[in-house]
Chain A
Amino acid sequence: MRNSKISIIAFYTFLEATRNRLVWLVVGFVVIGFGLSQFVAEIAIAESASFQSSFLAAVLRFFAVFTIALFVISSMVREFDDKGLELVLSLPIPRYHYFLGKLLGFSVLAIMTALFCGLVLLVHAPPAQVAFWVFSLSCELLIITALSLLCLFTLHQVTLALSAVMAFYLLSRSIEAMQLMAHNPIIDSDSLTQRIIEGFVDGVAYLLPDLARFTSTDWLVYHTGSWEELAPLVVQSAVYLALLTGAALFDLYRKNL
């Protein structure tokens, strides 16, 4: 019974996405991205296949992250504005059922988006490598989905929530480079300021997922993907999903309707 409540909310969440023609947007972008990658291959004087697959993969990854974040946030804002949340919670449904249902519905959408993006990459890379890429992108999108829900519960507005999600995403992807820069400054220094900067960057890194290791274009271009590389990504995704779910539920339970 409990599962059926969660799955019903998930089903209607997914149904909303299909009726919003989001699937067509994804298909349209995949087609346009493929066309652009053909164009990039035409103007590259060498390694045109590598250019093509890396360009397409990078464009699709960013598009998928941005689209999923925007859809989750705008869909939830509409739900709040239409008093859908109040309606659902007036029924004998615990708040965590509502949250998990929403998360599940959006997650199915995120995985489908990753699959669509992967289909077109099969033209350029071996199926096994594309499978690694799709799996990793799915994990990345699941984190973004949960984060978007958390940001909306906390910040209540589209602009603030989307900015926070994008800032988090860019920071998570570049935190490794920031750590290296903080620990190896151009001018060697052992000053207090330097140590504070190092400590601050390291502290931030502890709280962020290692997204720089996710969805690597190397797998598609140099075929270096393996299950050994995916295992840490699975653990990281599970850990971070637990953290985001906890934080989002914390905010949802404190929400005054």
Chain B
Amino acid sequence: MKVLKLWQPQTRARSVKFVPVPVLVLLAAGLAAQVIWHGTRAPPSATASDLPVPPDLDALRLSSLGDPVATAKMLMLWLQAHDNQPGVSIPFRKLPYDRLAGWLERILELDPRGQYPLLAASRIYAAVNDEEKQRFILDFVYRKFFEDPNRRWPWLAHAAIVAKHRFDDLPLALTYARAVSNHATGPDVPNWARDMPVVILEDMGELEAATVMAGYLLESGRVTAPHERRYLMQKLEELERRQVGAAP
């Protein structure tokens, strides 16, 4: 009960009858006028705002007040939510992809270890129904991959899969797969990512190149896991058999 007493006002208010009638009238009239005024105003209409040009990196660093990682995270959420403005939903394909890539680049510059921008680029913005924009954003992922291959390989590997299965553009898929295989050499990179070029070359009918690639991976010393070595050796044998079979 003592706790409840703490919430009680220190002095009890006087009864409402002490309030002069004109004050009550003013209060009621003010409230009524506010409700009527609001009712007569046109309801808010939604207007979509364009994605602005990304600001200079120095300006962003300055406005981050010494915390660029937090700023990068907030900017990423803002960018991701840009398609859902109050009252308006903008399809991703309507976004200007050059500006979008500019924002993603700035966010990566603020937080180079962050994975979200390239994840969004390869998984969200590359999923639009517009091949030109898809290729543009995958090329952005490809360019940014080289700055930190051991962390960013998953997004380029996904880009290779998109190029192979969605565009049916095997040379592009091979370019991405080769970049992953040659540059992502960290211990966390899985076997399948390293072996992707062999599979794509095989799909392209480039059996000789696929054989060379498989042999190179085996001899490079980068493949140490027994099951992966066994897989590559089996693949090498299969490719050599097919080459012999295909020879006139």
Report A224-245 CB contacts with B as 1/0, cut-off 8 Å. 0000000010011001101111
Q: B87–A256 contact, CB under 8 A?
A: no
Q: A236–B37 contact, CB under 8 A?
A: yes
- Partner of A240 from the list B34, B55, B87 (CB cut-off 8 Å) is B34
Q: Which of these binds chain A: B6-14, B115-123, B193-201?
A: B6-14
- Partner of A254 from the list B10, B14, B26, B87 (CB cut-off 8 Å) is B14
A168 at interface (Cβ–Cβ under 8 A)?
no
Q: B18–A253 contact, CB under 8 A?
A: yes
Q: A247–B27 contact, CB under 8 A?
A: yes
Cα distance, A252 to B67, chains bound together (Å): 47
Q: B58–A246 contact, CB under 8 A?
A: no
Q: B29–A246 contact, CB under 8 A?
A: yes
Query: What is the size category of the interface that chain B forms with chain A?
Result: 35 or more
Among residues of B, the one whose C-beta sits closest to the C-beta of A246 is: B27
B62 at interface (Cβ–Cβ under 8 A)?
yes
Q: B33–A242 contact, CB under 8 A?
A: yes
What are the residues of chain A within 8 A of B43 when measuring CB–CB? 179
Knowing A184-B46, A232-B41, the reply to whether A254 touches B19 (Cβ < 8 A) is yes
- Partner of B14 from the list A156, A178, A253 (CB cut-off 8 Å) is A253
B4 at interface (Cβ–Cβ under 8 A)?
no
Q: B89–A186 contact, CB under 8 A?
A: yes
Report B52-93 CB contacts with A as 1/0, cut-off 8 Å. 010110110010000000000000000000001011110000
- Partner of B34 from the list A96, A239, A256 (CB cut-off 8 Å) is A239
Q: B86–A246 contact, CB under 8 A?
A: no
- Partner of A180 from the list B14, B37, B46 (CB cut-off 8 Å) is B46
Knowing A184-B86, A254-B19, the reply to whether A43 touches B37 (Cβ < 8 A) is no
Q: A186 to nearest B CB, angstroms?
A: 6
Q: A245–B30 contact, CB under 8 A?
A: yes
User: Chain A: interface secondary structure?
Assistant: helix
- Among residues 26 to 44 in chain B, which have CB atoms less than 8 Å away from a CB atom of chain A? 26-31, 33-35, 37-39, 41, 43-44
What are the residues of chain B within 8 A of A46 when measuring CB–CB? 53
Q: A43–B14 contact, CB under 8 A?
A: no
Q: B32 to nearest A CB, angstroms?
A: 9
* B18, B38, B55, B84 — most chain A CB neighbours (10 Å): B38
Cα distance, A44 to B56, chains bound together (Å): 7
What are the residues of chain B within 8 A of A210 when measuring CB–CB? 38, 41
Q: A38 to nearest B CB, angstroms?
A: 14
- Partner of A44 from the list B26, B34, B59 (CB cut-off 8 Å) is B59
- Partner of B9 from the list A156, A209, A245 (CB cut-off 8 Å) is A156
Among residues of A, the one whose C-beta sits closest to the C-beta of B28 is: A246
Knowing A186-B89, A242-B30, A246-B29, the reply to whether A45 touches B12 (Cβ < 8 A) is no
A173 at interface (Cβ–Cβ under 8 A)?
no
What are the residues of chain A within 8 A of B11 when measuring CB–CB? 255-256
Report A129-161 CB contacts with B as 1/0, cut-off 8 Å. 000000000000000000000000000100000
B128 at interface (Cβ–Cβ under 8 A)?
no
B244 at interface (Cβ–Cβ under 8 A)?
no
Knowing A184-B88, A254-B16, A256-B14, the reply to whether A243 touches B33 (Cβ < 8 A) is yes
Q: A180–B59 contact, CB under 8 A?
A: no
B205 at interface (Cβ–Cβ under 8 A)?
no
Among residues of A, the one whose C-beta sits closest to the C-beta of B59 is: A43
Cα distance, A210 to B28, chains bound together (Å): 20
Q: A186–B13 contact, CB under 8 A?
A: no
Other CB < 8 Å A-B pairs besides A44-B55, A184-B87, 8 of them? Answer: A176-B44, A242-B29, A242-B33, A245-B26, A246-B28, A246-B31, A247-B27, A254-B15
Q: List 21 A-B contacts (CB under 8 A).
A: A45-B56, A156-B9, A180-B87, A184-B46, A206-B34, A206-B35, A210-B38, A239-B30, A240-B30, A242-B29, A242-B30, A245-B26, A245-B30, A246-B23, A246-B24, A246-B26, A247-B27, A251-B13, A253-B14, A254-B18, A256-B11
Q: Which 10 A-B pairs have the closest CB atoms?
A: A246-B27, A243-B30, A180-B87, A180-B86, A246-B26, A242-B30, A177-B86, A254-B13, A253-B19, A184-B87
